[in-house]
Amino acid sequence: MHIDIQLIPSAPDADLLSNRAVIVIDVLRATSAMVHAMSQGAAEIIPVIKVKEAFQVAKTFPRGSTLLGGEKDTRKIQGFDLGNSPREYIAEKVKGKRLIMKTTNGTQAFHLVASGGEIMVGSFFNIGATVRRCVESDRDLLLFPSGDEGNFSLEDTVCGGMLIDLIIKRGERPVALTDASHCARVLYQRFETNLLEAFYLSRHGKELVDFGLEDDLPYCAQTDMFDVVPLYQKGAIRISD
């Protein structure tokens, strides 16, 4: 198994994508919210790039079947039903619903890797389940941290490094790493005993604290809360049978 990680979030080389499984990571907070919502029984999630598109797509579905979720500058978008805190995506609200989501980095990331092989939704919430799926499928991997408005993201890369470290520690497959993957793994090992410290150090983590959303940091730093690996396919995120 060859594992690469894209440290800066831009459209990967199509060749690099075509024969690899991809894991999209946005732990603060888009993919955390998505994994939480799917584990709470949401039917599917449609990640979109523009706010206008979210309202247009919602109109194509029966009234009452769909909720709009996401953020702009960490705040709930006007006219949307939910913000982007995973704590909002509970069964009472999302069970059986289709979610159309728009966020700054996370939803965009799925469109950047859409031509990839199997595209998984990764977070700390489902890290063990994601590692198991990767080891079982033994496919070459591209980890795709969603980043921070086109820049390197500390928290997403630490999550990527943990995925790499756990796959290697399982010792079931020979693993080849790129320099970027080695770098992510070493970064994870620095925060291994205190993931939350990386969140408080990160630019986006500080921004969430400044906007009164500090509770999302310890919440999103929890590992193995859910045993689901949602997949992005044909424009929607679902749990495969």
Does position 130 interact with ligand MLT (CB under 6 A)? The reply is no
Dist CA 175 CA 20 (whole Å):
14
Pick 1 or 30: Cβ nearer ligand MLT: 30
C-alpha torsion sign, points 226, 207, 85, 219: positive
Q: Which two tokens mark 24?
A: 């999209």
Q: How far is the CB of 241 from ligand MLT (least distance, A)?
A: 28
Q: How far is the CB of 201 from ligand MLT (least distance, A)?
A: 16
**Radius of gyration from C-alpha coordinates of the chain:** 17
Does position 202 interact with ligand MLT (CB under 6 A)? The reply is no
Dist CA 35 CA 124 (whole Å):
10
Work out the number of other CB atoms within 10 angstroms of the CB of residue 130.
25
Does position 105 interact with ligand MLT (CB under 6 A)? The reply is yes
Q: How far is the CB of 237 from ligand MLT (least distance, A)?
A: 14
The footprint of ligand MLT on residues 163-192 (CB under 6 A) is none
Does position 71 interact with ligand MLT (CB under 6 A)? The reply is yes
Question: What residue spans of the chain are helical by DSSP H?
Answer: 14-18, 30-39, 51-59, 91-94, 106-112, 127-137, 154-170, 179-191, 195-201, 203-210, 216-220
C-alpha torsion sign, points 240, 35, 146, 161: negative
Pick 12 or 205: Cβ nearer ligand MLT: 205
Out of 39, 40, 66, 104, name the contact with ligand MLT by CB under 6 A.
Answer: 104
Q: How far is the CB of 28 from ligand MLT (least distance, A)?
A: 6
# binding residues, ligand MLT (CB under 6 A): 12
The footprint of ligand MLT on residues 10-29 (CB under 6 A) is 26, 28-29
Binding site for ligand MLT (CB under 6 A): 26, 28-30, 71, 74, 84, 103-106, 146
